Structures are given as C-alpha cells and as structure tokens.
Structure 1
Amino acid sequence: MWIALLSTCSDDRIQLAPFVPGGDYHKPALSLGTAELNVNAKVDCGRGVSQSQKTRLWNGATMADDSGNNASREREAEALSLLDRLFDRYESEDAAAQDTALTAAQSLCHAVWGGYTAGFEALAHKIETDSPGTVESALRSLRLREEATDPGCLIRAARHRREKLEKREADRAAVIARYGDEATARTATSSEARLIAAGRSLADPGDEDDPQAPLSGWNLPWHEPPESLRTLVATALPPPSNIVAARDECLQWEQRKRDLDLIGTGPGPAGLPTACAARHWLVERMWRCDLSATGPADLIARLEYWVERGGDDGSGYRTLLDDLTSLAGAMLRSSEGGSHARILRLKAENPDWSLARIGQELGISRQAVHKHLKRG
C-alpha cells in the first residue's frame, strides 16, 4: 500500500511513499501510470506541468491511499483477532499449547507491529475502544499491558496456579488417607465434640446447633474472647499443665485447622468451630506468656514461641526474664536435695515420663537419670 503526501510548501511538492506501519516513508520510487516519481520528487506547477495534470496525480494518489488504508485496517483487524485468540491460549492447561501460543504471538507481533510490546498495546487499545468503561475490558486490557511489559508472565502465573492446585489436591488426598476416609476427616474429634457441646450455652437462640456460630458475640480468632468464653473452654477440657503441653495442644489445633481447610468445599478457609478456635487462642496465650516455666523444656518451648511468632515490641524479653528468674529460684530452692532427689521426685510425680523426658527437665543425660533411678 502507498501513501501520498502533499506538502504545504509554496512550490506544492507531491511525495509518494509506501505505507509501512511505524515507517518513515523514505522508500524507493513508485511508478504511477507513465510517470516515474521518486520520493520527495519536485513537481513544479509553473514549468511543464499543468494544474489539471497535478490534480489528476493527486486524486489518483489519494484513491490509492484510501484503498490501501482500508486494506491495511482489515489486515490489522485480522491480526488483532488472531492475537486475541492466541492470548486466550495462554491460560491453557497444556504447557505445550501455551508455548506454541507464545511463540506464534511473538512472531505475529514482530511481523505486524514491529515488536511484542507494540502488538499487545494495540490489542489493549482496541479492547478499550470497543468496550469503553466496562470492568471486563478494563481487566483484560490491564492483563494485556502486563504481558506487554513482561513477555510470558501470564503463562508463568497460570502454571504457578496450576502447580498450587495440584499440590493442594495431593495434600487433601494425604489428609483423607490419614483419617481413613473423608467422612471421618470431617467428623468432630472427641475434644472438638466436648467443646462444641459446652459452647451451646453461649450461642444465640436458634444457633445452638451451628458450631461456627458466634459464642458470647465472639467468632473472630484475632480478637480476645470474652471472659465467659475463656472460662468455658478452659474448663471443658483439662488445661495444659506446663508450657510444653500448651505448645503441643496449640500445634494440634493448628494442624486440625489446616486439615479442615484442605477438605473443605467452600470458597474460603473452613476454620475451626468457634469454641475450638477460642480454646486455640487460650492455649497459644499460655504458650506465649500465661504459664511460668518449670524447667529447661518449658524454657525452650517458650523460646520457640518468641523466635518463631513473637513480635518486635520487646514483651518477649520481659516474659523470658520472668521465666529465667522463676526457674533460677526453683533450682536454688531444690539444690539441697541434689539431682538424685529431684529425679526421684519427678518420677514419682510423673510415672509415665520417660527417662529422656526427666533428663530434659533437669538438663542431664538419659543415662544419668537411669543411674539415679537404679540407685533408688
């Protein structure tokens, strides 16, 4: 296709050049009828070229321009339609189809618009022009421009989503296998059942059978439960006797929540039943600060909390200082009896404890505990 340019100079130059999208129109000569006209060829109205000849030349060039412009617009529209279809294939679940679509889109954009970015910008502009102001066109043009600035990013994002979904399905299957079947996985455990039953007394009328309903107006785990709910969940199950037990129960509730989230079918996380969420809040607080350390194992558990979950407000240092002070005092008070007496006392108070557990409490080896117990 060719374009005709008429300058505004006083000597009225006629310029003919091939139309190239993004081109500069400095191209070889064009044969128009019997006249050979070069780019920037000067046609002097006063020397051998009549006004009628000049008019015929201009009209012919303009008609060629109009016809060529129409053809160019049609070809670009076809190219945009093809690019739009290729872009849809970026979401394909077939990686080979995605790669093929990306390669084809790159070739098309370079052939028609001179580059990948320019092609996607043109498609984004067309979508905005065809459907101005709609949410769908705004979102699609935004994604097109994102792809224009980072070629292949939407394919990478689609693959990442697919990998996450596949991993979630594998994790879900593992959870169901651990419980035996899906029905068992969904069924409340004995601890959950006791808490849910106890929580009915704090539910609003009509919500007693909904385990997710608010209790005493509370159902947001990041807020502190009211006193009535804290008391209820503290007495419905035996409270943890030490920091280690509080940590273990807290981690069990968090694992249960992950399991329920995986086997849930709703659009968002399933979450623990309200009474169970309140119990989780309570034992996490015990792990964090409410219980005092009674031995090295408790101190280590407390340190684990503040290393992995603690904030930066300095409150953890205060808690740990209190633990160390309390623990040091207890060790001084029991020093008169020595390690032997403490080992015998711990074994008597906790007959189900292993030798390793007693040694962990006292900071000595399992073999040393065994020797003391053997002495009697």
Structure 2
Amino acid sequence: MATTAEYGLGEFTYPRGWFMIGTSADATTTPAAVRYFGEDLVLYRGESGRAHLLAAYCPHMGTHLAKNTTSYVVLDKKHVEGDNIRCPYHAWRFGPDGRCNEVPYSPAPPPKAACVKSWRIVERAGCLWTWYCPENGEPDYDLPPFEMWDQPHWVNWNVSCLGELASHPQEVVDNMADKGHLEPVHGSIDMVRFENEFDGVKIRQILLAGHKTLAGSGAEPMLNDTWYTGPGILQSIMVGEYPSHMLIAHTPIDDGVIKVWYGLFVKVANAEPTAADREMAAGYEQAGIAAFAQDFEIWGNKRPCINPMMVRGDGPFDKVRIWYRQFYNPRARAQEFQARVNGHYVTRGTGEAPWDQTA
C-alpha cells in the first residue's frame, strides 16, 4: 500500500469526482456508520424515503450519531424522526442539511455552530452516489445516467460489494492501459485491437480479441468497450449473444484503501425479462465477478508500482497517470492535464475506431 503523496499525484489526498457509497438497500431508517475519504460518516434513509449522508460526530460532545444500540433514543425509535437524525447521547436533532434544529431540554435556540457536514447524495440505478471535492466545489461533470435501469429487455444489475482492498486506486486505474496482462491474467487470445482514447474527464479502452474459454480458438473476436467517467466509475460493454453492461465502482476509504463494487446489466430477447432470463443474467454476473477477482488478487498481492518500467508493447501507462492527476489537483488545472493527453492512442491494431464515440 502506498499513499497519494508517494505516487506524486497532486495537492489533494483524495480525488474529485462522483463515487459510489453503497447500494440503495444500504440506506435504511437504522443509521449506518460508514467511512469514506478519511472521514467517519452516517448513512440513513428518512421517513420521506430519501437517503442522507452526514458527518458522524455530534458537535455537542463528539458522540457518533450512528454507533449506538442501547440509548433510549434508539430503543424508543426516535433515532430517525422524519428526515432528521437524533444524537443518541443528548437527543440533539439534526436535519438532512446537517443543522441542529432541536435541543429538547433547552429553551434557547440551537447554537448556529451546531451543525455537521451534509454530503450531496444521489440515488440512481439501485446505487447511492456522492460528490467529493476537496475544494468544496459543485460537480463539474455529470453522474452517468445508467440508462439501462428498468428498461425493456434489460435485466437490472444486482450490485455486489466485493469488500475493501489495501491498494491505492492508481493501481486500479492503470488497468485501462494494461494491454500486456489481458492474455496471462484474463485469457484473451488473438488480439486484433487495443486502443485508448482520452477526452476530458473520460478515458476509454477498446479491446477486440478472442478468449480462451468464452470464444475459443478460431471464433470471431469479441469487442469490449470500457471507459471511466471521472476517477471512480468504470463501465464496460461486451457485445455478444447477450450484450452486457458492466459497472466497477471503487471509492477511497482511507489513503491507499478502497471499497469496490461490481454489477452487470444483461440484455435479453424478452421485453419483460422472465425468471429464466434473470437466472441466466445472474450466472453472467457471477462469471464477471470471477473474472474481476483475477485482477483483485493481483492488486492485493503486489507492491506499489510508483514508476512503471515500460517496454515496447505496453499501453500508455504514462498518459493514464497524467490523466488521473487532474482529479488530485485544483480544478482550475484540470485542462492543463487534459491537454497533455487528450487524443487517441493505438497499442495494437490499425487505429480505425469500431465503436460509437458518443457513449
């Protein structure tokens, strides 16, 4: 495990961007203690149905707002009240904006300083997403729409949490340029094309190749179109008999530790997926998790790669790392890093882009 400073990424410890913090099922009216970006947080769902994310510690006397099971605030089911949350120690009540709106035993109004940080949270495609910015700025790019959710012919993904990984996210993002690992780790064969495209906050990988088990020798090569939107959300399309759309999301917990999720949409012939369609899609999803576990095992058992020893035939690791730095530096410098890499780079193939560049 290495830190952001050791990789020389920039001024900030954690990158600016949209990040997953859980699935919709993770937010309930029982507040949950979570930790991201080096901060203890509280996730809960209000009685309105909306999910909320607040800093964890009450400003009164420092009590964790979620970690309690024995206080009468909890036993009397007053822990979440409307869309508010009560501190289990003295029952101070905080709204979803983080401001204290009631001190039940005091005739005075709550102090203006009695507030905790409230985080922006968006619920989309069965997942919970938050915007992180070390400069406290508004989002400077859009959260992906995940437009297949609840659409005809698509089986919704069932996003699985794969747990924590003691690896800096730089090592994960490096995969976008890593042509050389695809055969020994994942079983790619007869590679026709490997390309990268950098465009602002997006980085794309195009792979056209066969596979030892999924396609077999002599079969038509399969097209994989994979891209990051920002530093923590990867999507990938695989074209085949049952087209699929994959999600891999990773979010910093602490400097050099991430939490990882995996999900897979699968397209089927029936506009309204049947039970058999869903069973088939679940099998695809488990196969995808197994494939991703091949990477996971590598990352979990390697020393940090601060400076890759690049050789002819490697992909553009140097470009990936420059692109990634835009998220660790003031947003005013983002175009500086983008200008150094924006473009199309071919490691294997002719460079004739066989994909829709508008996706």
Higher helix share: 1
Give the TM-score of the pair, scaled to structure 2.
Answer: 0.20
Task: Name which one, 1 or 2, has greater alpha-carbon Rg.
Answer: 1
Give the TM-score of the pair, scaled to structure 1.
Answer: 0.19
If asked which structure has higher relative contact order (CA below 8 Å, sep 6+), I would say 2
